Amino acid sequence: MNTESIINALLGGSLIGVSAVLLMLTLGRISGINGITSGLLSLNLNRNDLWRVAFLAGLLIGPMVYMAVGGTMPEVVIEKGYSYLIAAGVLVGFGATLGSGCTSGHGVCGLARLSRRSLIATTVFLTTAMITVFLNQ
Amino acid sequence: MKEIAALISGLIFSLGLILSGMTNPENVIGFLNITGNWNPALAFVLMAAVVITGLGYRLAWKRSKPLFEASFSVPTSQIIDKRLIMGSAIFGIGWGLVGLCPGPALASVFTSNGVKVLVFIVAVAGGILLQRLLTLLLERKAAATV
């Protein structure tokens, strides 16, 4: 790993941190993407859920803004086929909802606020993820 | 104002993911691949994110309330239960299969591999709904046996 990638990783991570702090400061909410998304998958939506749409919209337009300010089109390499993608997606959505969070909710926000639940959750999902990658080689 | 704040927050999150290379599943799998050619990038991303968020949260919580809401909505539970552990275990398996999770997926819809990412996202939505349905069914079963 070269110096440039390390710097980009630290800078990118810092931006993620800034984003999380911004959401907490303005709306008082945790930036857990699975939580924000699942809040929209409801039959009881009202005006108070509009912020979720706005946040997701912000996530979606990232690449376009990135390229507009001079960045190159982000490389997204996915070697797996559609059956893998579907299985992965269902497990991610199911698991994150059952476990009350994903990498952003538990891994970033939860650890940042020293949550015991998030420490356990993060440890568990990192472990099973690493085992999965190992078995998939 | 609330929606503008949320939009900007989401955008900065997305830019952070892109800049750090976390929208590329190859880098995520590379980090999770501890027995192979290990890519430590994700560790640096997480460290920076957690530190900044940790410091920022402390500052934010000096206020009595958020800027545009009546109160902070921070989870208070400290219970370590089966749901937390099982859910996290299952999430981890899904994450390890392709190297995608909700945030990076949404941030890479409008890239050259957008279709595959979109399929993943729809599946995530399916997984969320499936979990909710299961919870509902189990609750009804528990109520019926009372």
DSSP codes of every residue in A52-90: HHHHHHHHHHHHHHHHHTTPPPPP----S-HHHHHHHHH
CA distance A17 to B11: 12
A127 → closest Cβ in B18, B33, B92: B92
Smallest CA-to-CA distance from A84 within B94, B121, B33, B124 is with B94
Write down the pLDDT at residue A64.
97
Residue of B nearest to A96 (CA): B91
Boundaries of every domain in chain A: 3-135
B116–A28 C-beta distance less than 8 A = no
Banded model confidence at residue A2, pLDDT cuts 50, 70, 90: confident
What is the block-wise mean pLDDT of chain B (146 residues), using blocks of 10 residues? 97 98 97 95 98 98 98 95 97 98 97 96 98 93 82
For residue B61, give both structure tokens: 């919580």
pLDDT digits (tens, 9 = 90+) for A24-54: 999 999 999 999 999 999 888 999 999 999 9
Nearest to B42 by CA among B51, B32, B53: B32
Could A102 and B103 be called an inter-chain contact, meaning their C-beta atoms sit closer than 8 Å? yes
Instruction: Report whether A27 contacts A50 (CB < 8 A).
Output: no
pTM for this entry: 0.96
In whole numbers, what is the pLDDT of chain A averaged over residues?
A: 96
Domain count within chain B: 1
Verify whether the Cβ–Cβ distance A95 to B113 is below 8 Å: no
Structural domain boundaries enclosing B12: 2-144
pLDDT value of residue A27: 98
Residue B73: what pLDDT?
Answer: 96
**C-alpha closest to that of B8 among A13, A125, A61:** A61
Residue B44: strand, helix, or coil: helix
Q: pLDDT tens, A73-95? A: 999 999 999 999 999 999 999 99
- CA–CA gap between residue A95 and residue B2 (Å, rounded): 29
